[in-house]
Amino acid sequence: MPNPIAAAIQMRSGPDLDANLERARSLAREAADRGAALVVLPEVFAWRGLRLHEHEVPSAVPGPVSDFLCRLAVELGVILVGGSFLERSEHDGKSYNTSLLIDATGEIRAIYRKMHLFDVDLPGEVTVRESDARVPGAEVVTAATAIGTLGMSICYDLRFPELYRRLARAGATIVTVPSAFTAFTGAAHWEPLLRARAIENQVYVIAPNQTGTSPHGFADYGHSMIIDPWGAIVARAGDGEAVISAEIDAAYLARVRREMPCLGHARLLT
């Protein structure tokens, strides 16, 4: 049997929810037409707008955004990682940054809420305080699928290797990293961090990113990537919206882990 194909969707999401959902559908359909069995959307794919409008946007699960994703998975017959969207929480006007894993029958198989919140001040470049409007998640999330066990993460999580080691120890062979990585940090760190997480944990890494200029005025990096368990970049986008895809070769992953058995040699377990 041929190896399954995974696709990462690079988007330029804005403040029009309906337009974003329609664009996500179109790009996901393109991925499915290329034979993708797994499609991964970027972080905040459904809505990116100004903070003062955010109170109008968060969606429950189940709710409008999750229902859209479930219908899309069935329509395309794919496993779908719904990037992330703002999920309503019980915490005083704040929301979760939430990623859903949905199988081809439309069933939600896993819910991951972003654990590490992006609070940075890079003078002259980027100032973001995600914690002003978000609640951090607390659970490490994996789920078995027809093409391997998926470990879930979102964007800034990428800087915390202990999360990915725990995903690998929980059986993950594929890790998803839907992101809205800025151009300033992305140019320096996006590729080396993605490759490091793949190499350290001997997993496929699927990392769709946002592109263009965010509603907050800073540039997103684009350059979505799929990286194999040896750390090779097997698919890469440039700037602009795009669909990239690559095979998920379980036999190759098993060979890498057999010939370089680092995971079994770990002495300090997190």
| Domain boundaries, given as residue ranges, for the chain | 5-265
Q: Are 204 and 227 in contact (CB under 8 A)?
A: yes
Catalytic residue among 43, 70, 94, 241: 43
pLDDT for 90 equals: 87
CB within 8 A of 270, min separation 6: which ones? 162, 165, 166
**What pLDDT tens digit does each residue of the chain (270 aa) get?**
899 999 999 999 999 999 999 999 999 999 999 999 999 999 999 999 877 777 778 899 999 999 999 999 999 999 999 999 999 998 878 999 999 999 999 999 999 999 999 887 777 766 778 888 899 999 999 999 999 999 999 999 999 999 999 999 999 999 999 999 999 999 999 999 999 999 999 999 999 999 999 887 889 999 999 999 999 999 999 999 999 999 999 999 999 999 999 999 999 876
pLDDT for 191 equals: 98
**Whole-prediction pTM value?**
0.95
CA distance 29 to 78: 10
Is 43 an annotated catalytic residue? yes
Catalytic residue among 70, 87, 114, 241: 114
pLDDT for 115 equals: 97
CA distance 220 to 182: 4
pLDDT for 118 equals: 87
Is 155 an annotated catalytic residue? yes
Catalytic residue among 87, 94, 155, 241: 155
**Region 5-265: CATH code:** 3.60.110.10
